[in-house]
Chain A
Amino acid sequence: MRRFAMPKDERRPAGPGAERADASGSARELLRLEGICKAFPGILANDDISLELNAGEVHALLGENGAGKTTLMGVVFGLHRPDAGRILVQGDELGLRGPHDAIAHGIGFVQQHFSLIPTLTVIDNIVLSEHYGVGRKLSRSACREVLRDLEARYGLAVDPFARVEQLAIGEQQKVEIIKALIAEPAVLILDEPAALLSLQEVEQLWKLLRQLADEGIGIILIGHKLSEVLKIATRITVLRRGRKVATLAAHEATESILGELMVGALKPRRQSSATPAREAPPLLELRQLTVGGDAAGHGVRDVSCSVAGGEILGIAGLTGSGQAELLEAIAGVRRVEGGRIILAGEDITHLSVRARQARGLAYIPPDRHRDGLVGELSVVENLALGAGGDPPVSRCGWLQRRAMKERADRSIARFDIRVADPWRSARTLSGGNQQKLILARELTRSSPARHASGQLGPAPRASLILCCYPTRGLDFAASAAINEELRRCRDQGAAVVVVSIDLDELLELADRILVMQGGRIRGETDARQADPTRLGIMIGGGAAA
């Protein structure tokens, strides 16, 4: 049954029967990590992490975003070469040269971001994948046989001739899992597999994982939702800022213990300090807005809603439910197909990005590397980009380096951006500081109109702030700082729209929450009276309230 490399000296009986016995009896060690260190520019992602994985267990790897979980698994899968430490598979030390090596040693990895070719069929994707492996016949019919076998064993049914781009996210993930299973792995790693799935799909996935574990496969599950992890894991290892904090058996763990281990101390549950929403006229109004999507997302269908000054509107939903596209359309980066966007009584549906900015709109894009930062430019220059071509940063087309530096110094102090040298490239900053840099740039943007009225200096002055995943990938302190800034803007009368896939965060930050699913608004609730369970069901596409 197993084809992964076994140690040459057969100290253990091999074969399915033996494994099954092992799984139920004394645990057999499949994978051992010893003292793994991995550094990236500016960050020590893994610092001396050791871990064992036994046959038949579901070992959850918990930690906040940026704790080093994915990096660690990348090391195990040969994507990153560790700077120090050893990886042992069934007692043999590995020097992995790449994923193909890891696969040959019986390690499978279902990554969070799928590695599928959207325009090809499911079966072609599988045949082409590294998991399909050497020694197999490179033919669709041979692959078909293997797929039938997997379907019979695990109920993993996907139409092999459907093109991947036509499949829903959950189906695409199934293809990724099939790809990993086809190499008959001894160790299966899944990175946040539940993040994109509906509740029902998650249940199915958990059932599959339990079955695989019962067959003696060791499973490592990366997650950050405590409740999900507690449902399925047998052991839990918690990482914090690149270091291992603890490994404990699932029956010893509770959500509060794990939460404390993950963040270091119990997060005080913050009550939204908003004054009850005043009956202010809406600052932003969307009327039957329809926006085109792309391969990754649904687009937006017929969305109408409004936001008033002095409130934070949270938009919840699974990734790809249209939230990002909605904000892009309001910001002017994505074309509107139908409907209207009204800002302070004025129709801005077809205005340019700059014209919208001049009317007080600020936009924090979802991906700070892709959409936000100009990494090659210095911190000073990045901040100067927010000033457009206006004085005092630019006079008659010439940059005023002293004014640029002064502006940067004020922003750095005001937003607590930690920089060694403001003339160094923005790429060298840590994620949290990069995000603060973008926030500073967007919130201190000088618009010509305001300049004319004499209001200068980097004081937040945007009246509508759109944030897409503002705290994604940030540690607790940086997230708290960003959210605090958003609250401050709200308290000063700005309308704030925050998109996040982290419902807990939204419940804490927002005054009002909209749920989007499939490009439409599925529900709306006051954040203070929200019922997380009901919201969760709505997010997953369950019965709308």
Chain B
Amino acid sequence: MNRFSRVASPLRNVLISLVAIVLALVCASVLLVAGGISPLQAYRAMVEAAFGSAFAVGVTLGKTVPRLLPALGIALALRAGLWNIGAEGQIYVGATAAAAVAMFTPDLGFPVSAALALLAAVLGGALWGLIPGVLRAYRGVSEVITSLMLVYVAVQFTNYLVEGPWLVPNSTFPSTPIFAPSFRLPIIWEGTLVNGGVVLALLASVVLGLVVSRTTFGLWLRAIGSNQRATEVLGLPVRHMVMAAMAASGAFAGLGGAIEVLGIRGRLLESFSPGYGFQAIAIALLGRLDPLGIVGAAVVFGALEAGSAGLQVASANISSAIAPVIEGLAVIFLLVGLGVDERLARRRRTLRALTEQRDQQSGRTAAA
């Protein structure tokens, strides 16, 4: 069992994550001051760049989606107590599978072709998640190590394809040709870069919520995450569940990779992900494994990325590296906050037990 699969009251969850983010912003402002920049001005510029116009919101959403989907997958695995650290690799495999469909299957017109590409991505991501799942289920190999190692395999394999066999001729940057429009996700908001991937990501969030709380699979998942030994004694199919959870986790990440290449980029590029899969771990934790919370945390991360890119444009003194600083600090404060919260909760329970028992006893003596 781990403290992330323990879910306290929703309100407290939100509060802890919000406090963590605010504290991170406060700490980062110290860095900004040290760099001779007014934090207020900097943050205002960031908010402007992230939400100031329809286009800005579109940029933020575009940066949110590829972080949101793998985060949903990581949360799913973590509900079962499994750490899928390798979402980054599953993103690459998903994107590459989608690209393969876009490049080598006949054009069947828009919804069909795009759907096939997305399906290939889901399957590819699932396969990449399944490998650590199988090793964990049958050999007890830590999924942390295997999923992480598979990241490098996936990234290098994608790089090989775009630098070699799939390389578009006369290109300055390793990439495939632009995909045919029927394989791509259309823009759904005029005047912005927001594409159909946003809808898919929101749907995926709803699906995750339903699966975890309303299905037998979800109940078993949570049971395994809370007490695996008990579920083995209960006779639940723990091995199958472990494999299924890792595969499903990978499927979410794979879908995220496909949305990135079929939506925003329109082609498969070398190193197209700046570490979405790793940031997604932080997002899943900040969202406290709750789909709604994860959507919120992903938007915060998307806004930070969009904002810091805008900030760099506005002022040459600031590196866009301020975003990962804030993100990292937020996770650290979250961990501290969870620890503090746990202590407080324990103390509250103890006090309640004490007063309850006292009340009972005084009630008994009064009755007698």
Rounded to whole angstroms, the CA-CA distance of A386 and B223 in the bound complex is: 12
Asked if A372 is at the interface (CB within 8 A of a chain B CB), the reply is yes
Q: Determine if B216 and A41 form an interchain contact, defined as CB atoms under 8 angstroms apart.
A: no
Per-residue CB contact flags for chain B residues 203-235 toward chain A (1 = under 8 Å, else 0) read 000000000001111111011011101111111
Q: Determine if A365 and B233 form an interchain contact, defined as CB atoms under 8 angstroms apart.
A: yes
Q: Determine if A377 and B349 form an interchain contact, defined as CB atoms under 8 angstroms apart.
A: no
Instruction: Tell me whether chain B's interface is mostly helix, strand or loop, or mixed.
Output: helix
**A541 nearest CB across to chain B (Å):** 30
Per-residue CB contact flags for chain B residues 227-270 toward chain A (1 = under 8 Å, else 0) read 10111111111000000000000000000000000000000000
Stretch of B185-193, B280-288, B350-358 that contacts chain A: B350-358
Known: A357-B235, A371-B233, A399-B216. A41 touches B350 (CB 8 A): yes
7 smallest CB-CB distances across A and B, nearest first, come from A353-B235, A376-B226, A41-B349, A39-B354, A44-B357, A354-B235, A394-B216
Rounded to whole angstroms, the CA-CA distance of A544 and B59 in the bound complex is: 81
> Which of B218, B219, B225, B233 meets A353, CB within 8 Å?
B233
Closest to A390 in B: B216
Contacts of B358 in A (CB 8 A): 44
> Which of A47, A83, A372, A381 meets B230, CB within 8 Å?
A372
Instruction: Tell me whether chain A's interface is mostly helix, strand or loop, or mixed.
Output: mixed
> Which of A41, A371, A397 meets B229, CB within 8 Å?
A371
Contacts of B357 in A (CB 8 A): 39, 43-44, 47
Q: Determine if B353 and A39 form an interchain contact, defined as CB atoms under 8 angstroms apart.
A: yes
Q: Determine if B233 and A397 form an interchain contact, defined as CB atoms under 8 angstroms apart.
A: no
Known: A41-B349, A374-B227. A353 touches B215 (CB 8 A): no
Q: Determine if A385 and B354 form an interchain contact, defined as CB atoms under 8 angstroms apart.
A: no
Q: Determine if A385 and B215 form an interchain contact, defined as CB atoms under 8 angstroms apart.
A: no
**B198 nearest CB across to chain A (Å):** 27
Rounded to whole angstroms, the CA-CA distance of A372 and B237 in the bound complex is: 16
14 contacts between A and B (CB under 8 A): A39-B350, A40-B350, A40-B353, A43-B353, A331-B233, A333-B232, A354-B235, A373-B230, A374-B222, A384-B219, A385-B234, A394-B216, A397-B216, A399-B218
Number of A-B contacts (CB under 8 A): 95
Asked if B44 is at the interface (CB within 8 A of a chain A CB), the reply is no
Rounded to whole angstroms, the CA-CA distance of A398 and B216 in the bound complex is: 6
Contacts of B236 in A (CB 8 A): 385
Rounded to whole angstroms, the CA-CA distance of A80 and B254 in the bound complex is: 49
A-B contacts besides A83-B354, A386-B234, 12 pairs, CB < 8 Å: A44-B358, A332-B235, A354-B237, A365-B230, A370-B227, A373-B227, A377-B219, A384-B219, A385-B220, A389-B216, A394-B216, A397-B217
Within 8 A of B (CB), among A345-386: 352-354, 356-357, 363, 365, 370-377, 381, 384-386
Closest to B360 in A: A44
**B281 nearest CB across to chain A (Å):** 21
Contacts of A83 in B (CB 8 A): 350, 354
Q: Determine if B233 and A44 form an interchain contact, defined as CB atoms under 8 angstroms apart.
A: no
> Which of A372, A373, A385 meets B219, CB within 8 Å?
A385
Contacts of B28 in A (CB 8 A): none
> Which of A354, A373, A397 meets B215, CB within 8 Å?
A397
Asked if A37 is at the interface (CB within 8 A of a chain B CB), the reply is yes
Contacts of B349 in A (CB 8 A): 41-42
Contacts of A47 in B (CB 8 A): 357
Asked if B6 is at the interface (CB within 8 A of a chain A CB), the reply is yes
